[in-house]
Amino acid sequence: MFKFDKEYVEKSYELAKKTYAAYGVDTDEVLKKMDAIQLSVHCWQGDDVTGFETDADGISGGGILATGNYPGRARNAEELRQDLDKAFSLIPGKHRVNLHAIYAETDGKHVERDEISTEHFERWIKWAKERKIGIDFNGTFFSHKMADSGYTLSSKDNEVRSFWLRHGKRCRKIAADIGKELGTPCIINTWIPDGSKDLPADRMIYRKILKESLDELFAEKYDKNYMLDAVESKLFGIGSESYVVGSHEFYMGYAVKNGLMLCLDAGHFHPTETISDKISSLLNFIDEVLLHVSRGVRWDSDHVAILSDDLLAVAQEVKRSNSFDRVHFALDYFDASINRIAAWVTGSRAALKAIMIALLEPTNLLVEEENAGRLANRLALMEEFKMLPYSAVWNKYCLDKGVPVGTDWLNEVAGYEAEVLSKRK
Ligand code: RNT
Ligand code: ZN
């Protein structure tokens, strides 16, 4: 495979810089802007969303399913952090880590979800502090016997509903503690699986209950410097094909009304519907948007993110609306059929590439043509800009950040697999 040495990378960068300058884009500035970009990297790619609960029972309740049995899954928090460290060493820039409540460390003791607290995340906090990175958080409302009915916060069963309410409240407190400890607001995203396989007779009742539950869940106000709440909608899932209580309309309404962040997961809409066009609408009514960068293949399959037209369109929308301070990029996919470090790195690098390509776009020139009514030129320029030498800028970025350039990172993954992952039985 082609080996990019330092001289080659520097020389190509100088040429690319000239090309971009001719279009009015300063590539050095773009490299600086990349420093401010933080992805929220999901810990759950490392262990197939299993978590460390003593009675982890896989698919039970909630329909979250990672398929595949590639060897080397992280079996405990130590291994998961070690794997994340490896992945981070191959991803340019400094990024956050996204945790779920099931990643609590309870030292072998069974601690129910409505009893977890910040102490169970102390090692994660210490680890993040040492690396000077932020942590984001999620309550885990699935893979649990109390989710077996298919309903959690919208359950008609008060025992079930209050159990999940207690869980959700604990998670918000944990998130606020994390944000305070780390000095960067912890985004806590609430996604629940509630819905039904077949046609419900009364769609309204569950949504009414969910609204009441959310009002109670979010009643306690926390300092925005410590934590920020987001809510995530969905269209359908495994076991909730006919009806999802927390649909897009439901949560968009709720977020607008209550000043929360809305989470758009790329896999949670109709298969041909994209999330890019939603950003400029939402930002007129809510302060911030959380993105779950994912790739649905025919359905909400959570394939590893790639540099697709869809992902690029999302990054372009954020760039063109100058909203990088209001839109948060989190990754959300889980593939258990390939090397999990490679899955993390491929998706993270894809998201960063999309953001960089968008930042390098000579947007002003497009807007100029648009405003002058020269729409053929606008289209033609968009096509021409697809061929600009962004790969040279990307390679320079990787070089500057001290991570492998080009395909070199694959050797690192292979070495890690031989030395570490293959020994996990
Ligand atoms: C599920 C949602 C949710 C989860 C993670 C694990 O459909 O996308 O975000 O994937 O919380
Ligand atoms: Zn998601």
The CATH number linked to 113 is 3.20.20.150
What is the chain's alpha carbon radius of gyration, rounded to the nearest angstrom? Answer: 22
Mean pLDDT of the chain: 97
For ligand 1, the distance from its centroid to the CA atom of residue 293, given in whole angstroms, is 11
Strand partners, 330: 40, 292
Domain assignment present for 31: no
Residues in the 5 Å CB sphere of ion ligand 2: 265, 292, 332
Looking from the CA of residue 140, the nearest atom of ligand 1 is 11
Structural domain includes residue 210: yes
pLDDT at residue number 183: 98
Please confirm, yes or no, whether 234 is among the known catalytic residues. yes
Give, in order, the Cα–Cα distances in Å from 423 to each of 45, 258, 296, 417, 418: 19, 49, 32, 8, 8
379 located within any domain: no
The average pLDDT across 16-45 equals 98
Q: Which residues pair with 295 in a beta bridge?
A: 303
What is the number of the ligand 1 atom nearest to the C-alpha of 265? Answer: 8
Question: What integer is the mean pLDDT of 204-208?
Answer: 98
The number of residues making up the chain comes to 425
49 CB under 6 A from ligand 1?
yes
Tens digit of each residue's pLDDT (9 = 90 or more) over 362-402? 999 999 999 999 999 999 999 999 999 999 999 999 999 99
The residue annotated as part of the active site, out of 229, 302, 335, 369, is 302
Query: In the structure, what pLDDT confidence band is assigned to residue 58 with cuts at 50, 70 and 90?
Result: low
CA distances from 309 to 30, 224, 272, 317, 348 (A): 21, 34, 12, 12, 16
The minimum-distance atom of ligand 1 relative to the CA of 237 is 7
pLDDT (mean) for 268-290: 97
Is there a catalytic annotation at residue 148? Answer: no
What was the pLDDT predicted at 425? Answer: 83
pLDDT digits (tens, 9 = 90+) for 332-347: 999 999 999 999 999 9
From atom 10 of ligand 1, which residue's Cα is the shortest distance away? 332
The structural domain count of the chain equals: 1
How many C-alpha atoms does 199 have within 13 Å on its Cβ side? 1
Whether 92 is in a domain gets the answer yes
Domain-located, residue 191 = yes
Conformation bin of residue 76: beta by default, left when phi > 0, alpha when psi is -120 to 50: beta
Quick one: which atom of ligand 1 is closest to the CA of 333?
Answer: 10
Catalytic residue among 53, 229, 288, 332: 332
Question: Residue 191 Cα, ligand 1 centroid: separation in angstroms?
Answer: 7
Confidence of residue 63 (pLDDT cuts 50, 70, 90): confident
Range of the domain at 288: 37-360
Rounded Cα distance between 52 and 77, Å, is 8
- The tokens for 219 are 């009643």
Q: Tell me the average pLDDT across 162-172.
A: 98
* Cα-based torsion angle of the residue sequence 170, 328, 257, 270 in order, rounded to the nearest 10 degrees: -100
- Ligand 1 centroid vs 86 CA: distance in angstroms? 23
pLDDT at 60 over 80: no
Q: Decide: 191 in ligand 1 pocket, CB within 6 A.
A: yes
Tell me whether residue 392 is in a domain. Answer: no
Structural domain includes residue 369: no
How much is the pTM?
A: 0.98
Residues 6+ apart with CB under 8 A from 303: 294, 295, 296, 297, 333, 335
What is the best residue among 98, 261, 265, 303 to mutate for testing ligand 1's pocket, by most ligand atoms within 8 Å of CB? 265
- DSSP code, position 150: S
In angstroms, rounded to a whole number, what is the distance separating the alpha carbons of residues 356 and 57?
40
The pLDDT of residue 56 is above 90 = no
Q: Residue with the nearest Cα to atom 2 of ligand 1?
A: 191
Q: What is the mean pLDDT of residues 358-363?
A: 98
Q: Decide whether any atom of ligand 1 lies within 6 Å of the 181 Cβ.
A: no
**Is pLDDT of 61 > 80?**
no
Averaged over 92-109, what is the pLDDT? 97
265 is catalytic: yes
Residue of 134, 102, 138 whose CA lies nearest to 263: 138
Q: End-to-end CA distance of the chain: give it in Å, rounded.
A: 32
Whether ligand 1 lies within 6 angstroms of the CB of 48 is answered as no
DSSP secondary structure of 54-97: TT--TTTTT--------S----SHHHHHHHHHHHHTTSSS--EE
Which helix (H) or strand (E) element contains residue 234? none
Which atom of ligand 1 has the smallest separation from the CA of 294?
8
Q: Residue 171: inside a domain, yes or no? A: yes
* Confidence band for 149, pLDDT divided at 50, 70 and 90: very high
